[in-house]
Amino acid sequence: MRYPTLVVLALMAIGVGPLTAQENVRERARESLPSQVFQGVDALATEMVEAGIPPEPLFNKALEGLAKRVPSDRLLPAITRYAGQLRLARDAFGDVGGGPLYVAGADALQRGIDVEVLRSLGRREGDSPEPSPMAVLVLADLVEAGIPADRALGVVREALRLRTGEQQMLGMTARVRQMMRQGQSPQEAADQVRRSLQRGRGGGIPDQRGRRHQRRDGAPLPGGAHYSFSHLPG
């Protein structure tokens, strides 16, 4: 999957309206999950609310596992681990982040990002804006592409400092991957993308005529970010 679809759907659900979204996904989970699994997920969801974390991602993750035929005896332990990752993301970003940032943080942790890297991203520098969910997802994507975590963190921080648009952020990983295919090291590719940001060229992929490749809808091509139930051990 070329884009973190489940994360985006979860963020959209949160944006619909907390009460409506929670009731809808909880009811679907109650109707679909085995009773014992639902009771466990519902108890975890209550704990999430008490910790200031939206519960919808837990129900969504459980429904995804069910759709992928994850055995019932593995489903609840996997959701419990995911709840722990949401808590870690909440601890890393604090109160300023909100539900969408915690979901993105949990995705990054599942993809191997160290929690201390998230903490570093959550610490604002100067007048830089707070990290966005997209910034967290792109950070994970860069590391997954082979960029060392500290280099990837520097690129994303620079993008935030320069208030780079989300579409341009999405293009940064594709740009890095292209340069690595052309023989550059991960560090060199990251440094070049950072310099391009500083020169105001964004993160898109330049073709031989100097233009950025784009999708038909005008957005730069995304990188290799993905998100699926397979990230959860079980």
* Cα separation, 35 vs 145, whole angstroms: 40
What type of residue sits at position 69? R
pLDDT of residue 1: 39
pLDDT of residue 200: 78
pLDDT of residue 209: 37
What DSSP assignment string belongs to 106-134? HHHHHTT--HHHHHHHHS--TTPPPPPHH
pLDDT of residue 28: 94
SS3 53: coil
Q: Where are the alpha helices (DSSP H) in the chain?
A: 5-15, 18-32, 35-50, 56-67, 72-93, 99-110, 115-122, 133-144, 149-161, 166-181, 186-198
pLDDT of residue 231: 53
Retrieve residue 213's tokens. Answer: 């490749």
- Name which of 164, 119, 162 is nearest 138 in CA terms: 164
What's the pTM value of the predicted model, to 2 decimals?
Answer: 0.75
pLDDT of residue 34: 94
pLDDT of residue 233: 42
Please, what's the b/e burial string for 56-86 (b: 16 or more CB within 10 A of its CB; e: otherwise)?
bbbbbbbbbbbeeebeeeebbebbebbbebb
Half-sphere exposure of 118 (CA within 13 A, CB side): 31
One digit per residue, the tens of pLDDT, for the chain of length 234 reads 344 434 444 444 444 445 555 668 999 999 999 999 999 999 999 999 999 999 999 999 999 999 999 998 999 999 999 999 999 999 999 887 788 999 999 999 999 999 999 999 988 776 678 889 999 999 999 999 999 999 999 999 999 999 998 888 888 999 999 999 999 999 999 999 999 998 875 544 443 333 444 433 444 433 333 344 555 444
pLDDT of residue 199: 86
* Cα separation, 96 vs 168, whole angstroms: 24
